[in-house]
Structure 1
Amino acid sequence: MDDLDSMEMRNYICEYSIGNGVKIVKSTILNVEILPDQLGNKKIILDILAEDSKGNLYNIEMQRAPTIADYYRWEYYGARNLSSRLKKGGKYINLKPVYQIIFMRGYAYGNHNLINRYIMRNDNGQQEHENPLMHRIYVSLPAIDHIVAEKGKNNLNEFEKIIYLFEHNEPCDTIEPGKMVNVIMSRYKRMKQNKSIWTMAEKLEEAQMIEESLIEISRKEGLEEGIEKGIERGIEQGIEQGKKERTEEFIKQQISLKYHTDASAWLSSLSSDQLEQAPALILTCDTFESLQQQINQIQS
């Protein structure tokens, strides 16, 4: 999924979500998953890193219906992404803004807007200063049904058609689905033919079904919240391990393509935090040795 059409699609999604006219110059996929929506019906989940002409970073991810823990996690990741931008001995004035774009199968807190863009503001709605460093954007997929009811499927713009596809796992029945929707559908068909990816999707589906079943049983039997959380965490750890293995494989491919090096042994020694930051550093490090130095400076 790294041809020119795919990159154009990723850049378009990023530019529209931000809504400030910024031009994205490059983007890469950090992680690709196909997750279950209903039994036998898999959803495409993308985790994307993009960069604009000024060096600002944009992270795009997809999430199921958010919990309060997810909001905490996004704030934490945003702060961590920002702190990782300050090199040793660097000056705060040289920090570049970071943007998080979260597509969710639910609504942002307090409203049903398609897009919500957040920065730090005071009680009067004034932003903290003219060049805020942390930006968080939520795109609520279910909002597309309200838009369709209001304006009709035939009047959706390109971005709204993409959101319809993400929400319903099929394009809306308009005369012209649009170039970006066609690109996504063609890549989806290619991924569907990849047996290893589809097998992983089935494993994740099974894990999620077990998780939901155990939580429901614990509620019915009146078990304490601590036990419920323990069950949830056990399932999460299993899913996280699977995601770590897929991340390692993806980064291994990226390193092989750019540096012509087999990094299998080195990658297996890295922590999850180090692996999460590796794709961004691959974009900026010219040599494999430089990449190793940058990664090794990250606390494992």
Structure 2
Amino acid sequence: MPTEQPRGVLIAGRYLTTAIPYVNAVPHIGFALEVAQADALARFYRQQGWHVRLQAGADENSIKNVQAAETAGLSVVDLVERNAARFLALKESLDLSYDDFIRTSADQRHRRGVERLWKACFERGDIYKRAYSGLYCTGCEQFYNAEDLDDGKCPEHGTKPELIEEENWFFRLSRYECTLRDLYVKGATEIVPDARRNEVLSWIEHGLEDFSISRSAARARGWGIPVPGDPEQVIYVWFDALGNYITALGYGSDDGDTLSGGGRRPSRENTSSARVSPVSTRFTGPPCYFLPVCPCRHEFLSTAMSPSRGAR
């Protein structure tokens, strides 16, 4: 992989990511299987001549981690550092070829990116604050409607959710119902297998509701990324954690990050790309191409380009 290339054009390659696990406990065999499969796929694409970036990490800003630390008699920082190190150690023990491993509570690049993502959504009018009451399962880190419970218990964990009443920030998911439906129906965003695509479409057809993307700092014991401008709230762990797939690429950095380009689609002929270093965690130069609609309102660009046939 070249260490220096012209700025402002797109690299032909594959961006592969693993799920980033909670670190309330040590790794289990199921996660080891996942990362081994992801690594095998990355190695396959590299052998085919693709530029590949394999991204992994640890999801650390959850209330579940706070509770695990309290049970263990440790500070949250000590617990997540200890367990995150166990997940990172899989790279050596399983001979994995990660290009990067991001820790959501410790990497400042991640925090900067999450704060920028929040502000971008807020400026678009996608975020608003209101009082809320709901049934919350800490194991799932989500609210449930009463009709979604199994005999009053979480269908996943078999525990009775806690009734929570507080003021939170909400994301206007309902605003994007038609946009998302069109993306999936027209195939602009691909979901495989078809059974999962149909499941997502059915979910959308039932109507999308706005959802809470913050938690009170008091209930989170002060653990998490504070909401910009509202230190009494922390950013909901899933809004925070899912951002890792772009913050790990430099989103939110000060010197020209992945998603801060001019929104220009590169030509089919001009597909060799931004500056990339094999030891760097930052991609610089190209416009937004990892999200259907990024917070900067840039055009969606696909990275699924064959090195032999160009864009497809």
Give TM-score scaled by structure 1 length: 0.26
Higher normalized contact order (CA 8 Å, seq sep 6+, divided by chain length):
2
Structure (1 or 2) with the greater helix fraction: 1
TM-score, structure 2 as length reference: 0.25
